[in-house]
Amino acid sequence: MMTQKTILRALAGETLPTPPVWMMRQAGRYLPEYRATRAQAGDFLSLCYNPDLAAEVTLQPIRRYGFDAAILFADILLVPQALGADLWFVTGEGPRLSTITEQRDFDRLKGKHDIHETLNPIYETVRILSRDLPSDTTLIGFAGAPWTVATYMIAGRGTPDQGPAHALKDGNRALFEALLDRITEATIEYLDMQVQAGAEVVKIFDSWAGSLNSADFAKYAIAPTKRIISELRARHPDLPTIAFPRQANDGYIGFHAATGATCVAIDNSVSPEWAAQKVQVDGCVQGNLDPKHMVTGGAALREATQHIVRAFANGPHIFNLGHGITPDADPDNVHIMLEAIRG
């Protein structure tokens, strides 16, 4: 059955007549059943750490839409929490963390092998999903890339330009690199445990990669991702990996070879024709419908979807959005997208 899973076939380099499809944040606030389950959990973090409910929200979009993959419901900031950072969410504003700006802050962090007590519920969610997903649905595990996770740990929140992280990088390079190494080591252990629990693919989200200049992109986006993939492949030789260096622009070119990623996910700031010519030539690509189409729908959604399918038709392609689906999306528009892909 493994070889019949379309996403695994695309990741193995096969060009399929109909691309497999899933959506970033497909389990989320645009779905009424998700909102009901989150209310049952009490709050976002309680939902993440409740294996039965986290598995339930992961399964909801599979039941509703029949996507070719399910992605584990969790959050990239669970790794900082497992390392000892304080983490909470402010309604309507997003995450907040205790900050790492001085050596004494770093010295309080836990080691890479001390994260599992906190993260064991996540591994149990993976085990439930591995058992309960349809036999033709691929299970994707994930983590945040070290640079992106570090930006939150340094600033204590999301920022428009990742300024605090750049300031620490430029002002105390030794501390910054020690933090990046600690995150990288923890991420390897976290993803390894997800694979042991049943994840068939892992995705590395570098949401803020685009704010790194070319030299820093090589050092702090490419190098940590390469290290994570290399170590995971040493432990799991056949593990496919998806890397998403969002807004990398020309940094997408050569990213397969530079990191060892099986697939490079593309955001919607680049055209599918450009990505087919510059990136897909090196392997599987994933993307890249503008999420705004899931809000507005209609003929424009159908046309944009079919445009992307045509552009990537000559190589391995996994259809996805260029970023996560937004809370104001219309669930009916997902059906329109799927019909445009599958006919």
List active site positions: 25, 29, 38, 75, 152
CA quadruple 22, 80, 97, 173: dihedral positive or negative?
Answer: negative
3-state DSSP assignment of residue 263 = strand
Decide: 231 and 223 in contact? Cβ < 8 Å.
Answer: no
Q: In what order do the strands lie in the sheet with 284-289?
A: 69-71, 138-144, 201-206, 241-245, 263-265, 284-289, 317-321
Decide: 268 and 244 in contact? Cβ < 8 Å.
Answer: no
Decide: 195 and 202 in contact? Cβ < 8 Å.
Answer: yes
Q: Is residue 206 classed exposed, middle or buried when 0-12, 13-18 and 19+ CB atoms within 10 A define those classes?
A: buried
- Which residues on adjacent β-strands are paired with residue 162? none
Tokens of 230: 């290399």
CA nearest neighbour of 279 among 249, 234, 323, 238:
249
CA nearest neighbour of 7 among 320, 340, 337:
320
- Residue 21 DSSP one-character state: B
Q: Fill in the amino acid letter for 1.
A: M
Angstrom distance (rounded) from CA 318 to CA 13 = 11
Please enumerate in sequence order all residues whose Cβ is within 8 A of that of 234, keeping only pairs 6 or more positions apart, or say none: none
